[in-house]
Amino acid sequence: MAVEKAESQDLQPNSILSYAKDLPNICSLSGLACTLLAIYFSISGLYAAAMIGMIWAVAFDWADGLIARRMKGRTRIDGIFGGQLDVLIDIVSYGVTPAILLLSYGNFEPVYLFGAFLMLAASALRLSYFTTFGLADGTQYTGLALDNNSIFIVFIFLFEGVFSHDVFSVVLYATGLGLAALNVSNIKTPKLSGNPLNVYILAAYTIGVTIIYGWKLL
């Protein structure tokens, strides 16, 4: 513990709020704002609006890394701070938010607590593993990256109207558990956000689903 404190002191950071002016961090915090809206609308039962918040949170999450890699003059400390901020926001965006979505869609029945906990626990384990060991071979994730959870959940919610509420709640429950299992599995998956082409594809997907869910809200 003493060593960790000494290392933290050696960094000699600027004020906390000074890091809020860093463009990649602004992008990360914008994603956090979208996540908060997704949580709010999930609890309110406006799931179409929640889906918009969830997918934009992913878009900002991908964008912050792309911006950070292209910015000149960022220090090692800027990178460390941004990485820590990103991880903390990820647990809210990809762990807390889907868990609350499942609970809300299940009318907060106790049986949904188990699934929500497993989803949240898998997210915490997945992020802890990544921050400890990083990418496998420097190019691939071990386990399904958490941002894929939101991308897939937003997609399956497009078909909510096809099923009754009770049936879709089971579909959502099973989807959440399946994604949680993939998150903590040993499968290797590519780092999609590291490819600019994938960022453009996500941007098109984000705009498309925003239009669809926006139409549903109308």
DSSP assignments along 156-189, one per residue: HGGGGGGS-HHHHHHHHHHHHHHHHHHHTS--EE
Lookup: tokens for 59: 């878009």
- Is pLDDT larger for residue 14 or for residue 102? 102
Q: How do residues 26-52 score in pLDDT, each as one tens digit?
A: 999 999 999 999 999 999 999 999 999
Which amino acid, 61? D
Element (H, E) at 142: strand 140-142
Percentage of the chain beyond pLDDT 90 is 72
Q: In whole angstroms, what is the distance from residue 35 CA to residue 96 CA?
A: 9
Cα dihedral 180, 182, 184, 185 in deg (nearest 10): 150
Residues 145, 139: Cα–Cα separation, whole Å: 13
> Helix, strand, or coil here: 57?
helix
Give residue limits of the domains in the chain.
20-217
Element spanning 190, H or E: strand 188-190
* Dihedral, 61, 66, 71, 76 alpha carbons, nearest 10: 70
Task: Please count the CA atoms within 13 angstroms of the CA of 113 that sit on its side-chain side.
Answer: 4
> What's the pLDDT at 138?
76
Residue 197's pLDDT is what? 86
Which H helix or E strand runs over 29?
Answer: helix 23-44
Q: What CATH architecture is 20-217?
A: Up-down Bundle (1.20)
Question: How much is the pTM?
Answer: 0.90
Using an 8 Å Cβ cutoff, are 124 and 188 in contact? no
Distance between CA atoms of residues 152 and 143, nearest Å: 15
DSSP-derived pairing of the beta strands 140-142 and 188-190: antiparallel
Residue 6 has pLDDT above 60, yes or no: no
Provide mean pLDDT across the span 177-184: 98
More confident residue, 177 or 138: 177
Q: Hey, how many other C-beta atoms are within 10 angstroms of the C-beta on 75?
A: 9
